[in-house]
């Protein structure tokens, strides 16, 4: 049975828009693209001394399990030349599994919902754009409510 998953995509190396579009095209092969947010230029968080990111969120209808979807996303990253040299550093492409239906998963190598989803404006702004009423299954708040609850901070602007 197909499930609706939300994935966050980001790039801050090379032609960021081309990188996102290439990853989106590859995601379409593994599931049906239901919705795609606008692109957002976003200030880096945690490791601030790096180029700004271009981010978006994709809603994907998939028959894959959460683990299979994560494996496919990691394969796309690898195939596009993503090197995991450091945590939170510059990257050509980054794909994170944010939500998978209303499932809560906490297994080695797989946590759904994404553990930092509710803290990241660069994820919540595009998520709230395409799915304002989608509910965080643990916090029981919508994407719009989570975004509104964020304090001042990271700069995120729709491109």
- Catalytic one among 96, 121, 135, 157? 96
Contact status, residue 24 vs residue 36, Cβ threshold 8 Å: yes
First to last CA, the chain: 35
Contact 95, 76 (CB under 8 A): yes
Q: Is 82 a catalytic residue?
A: yes
Q: Which residues pair with 55 in a beta bridge?
A: 10, 40
Q: Is 15 a catalytic residue?
A: no
Report the DSSP pairing between strands 110-112 and 105-107.
antiparallel
Of 15, 16, 63, 82, the active-site residue reads 82
- 96 belongs to the catalytic site: yes
Catalytic residue among 16, 94, 120, 121: 94
**Whole-Å CA distances, 62 to 21, 34, 89, 100, 141:** 19, 10, 29, 10, 24
Active-site residue, selected from the candidate residues 15, 21, 84, 91: 91
The Cα 6–Cα 23 span in angstroms is 14
Burial class of residue 9 in the structure, from the number of CB atoms within 10 Å of its CB (0-12 exposed, 13-18 middle, 19+ buried): buried
Known catalytic residues are 82, 91, 94, 96
């Amino acid at each position: 049975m197909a499930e609706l998953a939300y994935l966050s995509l980001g790039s801050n190396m090379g032609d960021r828009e081309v990188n996102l579009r290439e990853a989106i095209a590859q995601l379409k092969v593994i599931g049906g693209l239901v919705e795609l947010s606008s692109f957002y230029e976003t200030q880096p968080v945690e490791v601030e001394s790096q180029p700004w990111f271009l981010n978006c969120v994709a809603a994907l209808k998939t028959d894959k399990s959460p683990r299979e979807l994560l494996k496919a996303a990691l394969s796309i990253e690898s195939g596009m030349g993503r090197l995991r040299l450091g945590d939170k550093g510059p990257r050509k492409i980054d794909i994170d599994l944010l939500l998978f239906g209303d499932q809560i998963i906490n297994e080695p190598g797989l946590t759904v919902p994404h553990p930092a989803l509710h803290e990241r404006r660069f994820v919540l702004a595009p998520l709230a754009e395409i799915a304002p009423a989608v509910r965080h299954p643990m916090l029981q708040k919508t994407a719009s409510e989570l975004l509104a609850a964020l304090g001042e901070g990271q700069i995120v602007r729709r491109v």
